[in-house]
Amino acid sequence: MTENLRDEPARAGIGARWLIANLACEEEFAGRAHAALPRSVGRRLAETALLLRVFAAPGDTLWLPAPLEDSRGAEVDGIATPRLHVGAAPPPGRAAGILAWGETESVARLRSANAGTATAPSERAPETALLSERLWRVAPPAASAARAANDRRLALAANRALGTALPGARTLHSLEELRSHLDAGGARAAPDERWVLKACHSAAGRDRLLGAGRDAGEPALARRVERFFERHGALVFEPWMERLLDAGAAALAGPERTVPLGSHRQRIDRRGGFLGLALDGADAGGALTVEESRLLGAALQGAGERLRGAGYQGPFGIDAWRYRDAAGAIRFHALGEINARLTVGIVLRAWHEHLLALGVISRGDGIRLAYRRQGGTGEPHAGRVIPLVLRGDPPHAEVWIEVLQPERADAPIDCDSGSVARGL
């Protein structure tokens, strides 16, 4: 990849477009814009931010949320290599266009400072255009609307309107409310009455607290719960189900209708943290039953309507999962979360479109985005691996795309970093 622009501010002049990879936008939505993220989290966000170069053209600048340290982007034929900028603020100069991961107040100020040079075209790109072109032409929502749209309470309200809320899911405001809710059986639907408290603005499994049973009075847990309420105020309570399959879908919320972009499968750790994502050709619906696919589509449309009601227009994604309840029944929760911003699912779909247009993959092929796991020992599955982010010398792949044949779409995500590097 290219150099950091902190030492060459003059090169980010008028005419360049800016990709703002503010992957920690939920921190700003929650009023913690200047809170320091753990170093490991910042590095992983910066590595994921490199995936946004699929939206870049030559000369564009990509703002990273944290230093890459010893990581760098791998060259991919046909994909532009943007200039990089790391710092507390985006690069100096004027931008010809701005595309942000999330529409926050700081992005709104940046757009205001670039009024006249970074406005979205009045003519929308056709739905047949590549996502990398269409998203630049989407008029951004107000930052206040984006903040409201990303509040977990909006997703809870959407679930209630659709009749799909998890049993016992509700908003709580104190330890006393939690104790009362648990005593009334609020987590009864989950195995071992497990439960989770989630901050209203958070992402990637961060800012959540797990517990089990009806008694939150154990001193150490009670203190953690009280501190969690003090930090976040209102929290969303849900029963913590035994997840069997994680899926999701993406769309564009327009002024009058929701345009689906497709579905995908996700790999999530035991605490809900993101590990990987797969597209099975044009759609990942094959991993779901016909009824689950129908429910997911209905939830996507319902979420789009709720977002329009909140004043939000633009890209969004929803999470869903198949689970086993306390009675052993297999169920499907079609609307777990609403992410009113760019998502990894949308970004991977843009990569899929580009790789297909470049002839790197064939129609019907699926692709999987995977991250190296600490201590991973598995070999990459047979097939082509496209490294996206490299680290070390000699380099190994930290983030990569694996090309899948349709019959292999359900294979587990597992890859040893050293074996990937040998294919570079």
Query: pLDDT tens digits, the chain, 424 residues: what are they?
Result: 333 333 333 334 445 899 999 999 999 999 887 667 788 888 889 999 999 999 999 999 999 988 888 899 999 989 999 999 987 766 666 788 999 999 999 999 988 888 755 445 545 666 678 899 999 999 999 999 999 999 999 999 999 999 999 999 999 999 999 999 999 999 999 999 999 999 999 876 678 899 998 877 778 889 999 999 999 999 999 999 999 999 999 999 999 999 999 999 988 777 667 778 998 644 444 578 999 999 999 999 999 999 999 999 999 999 999 999 999 999 999 999 999 999 999 999 999 999 999 998 888 888 999 988 643 333 445 468 999 999 988 888 999 999 986 654 444 333 332 222 222 2
* pLDDT value at residue 89: 67
Bridge partners of residue 387, in order along the sequence: 400
Distances (CA, A) of 94 to 53, 132, 141, 143: 19, 21, 21, 20
For domain 167-239, give the CATH number. 3.30.1490.20
* pLDDT value at residue 207: 84
Q: What is the DSSP string of 21-44?
A: --TTHHHHHTT-TTPPPPHHHHHH
* pLDDT value at residue 8: 33
Cα separation of the two ends of the chain: 15
Q: At what angle do helices 290-309 and 152-162 cross, to 10 degrees?
A: 120
Assigned token pair, 172: 């709580």
Chain-centroid distance of CA 65 in Å reads 15
Q: What span, in angstroms and rounded, lies between the C-alpha atoms of 266 and 253?
A: 22
**406 burial type by CB count under 10 A (0-12 exposed, 13-18 middle, 19+ buried):** exposed
**58 burial type by CB count under 10 A (0-12 exposed, 13-18 middle, 19+ buried):** exposed
* pLDDT value at residue 372: 84
* pLDDT value at residue 424: 21
Collapsing DSSP to helix, strand or coil, 413 comes out as coil
* pLDDT value at residue 423: 25
Distances (CA, A) of 358 to 42, 354, 361, 406, 421: 32, 6, 8, 20, 23
* pLDDT value at residue 414: 34
Q: What b/e sequence results for 24-43 when a residue is b if at least 16 CB atoms lie within 10 Å of its CB, and e otherwise?
A: bbbbbbbebeeeebeeebbb
Q: What span, in angstroms and rounded, lies between the C-alpha atoms of 123 and 246?
A: 36
Query: What is residue 254's DSSP assignment?
Result: -
Where does the chain hold its CATH 3.30.1490.20 domain(s)? 167-239
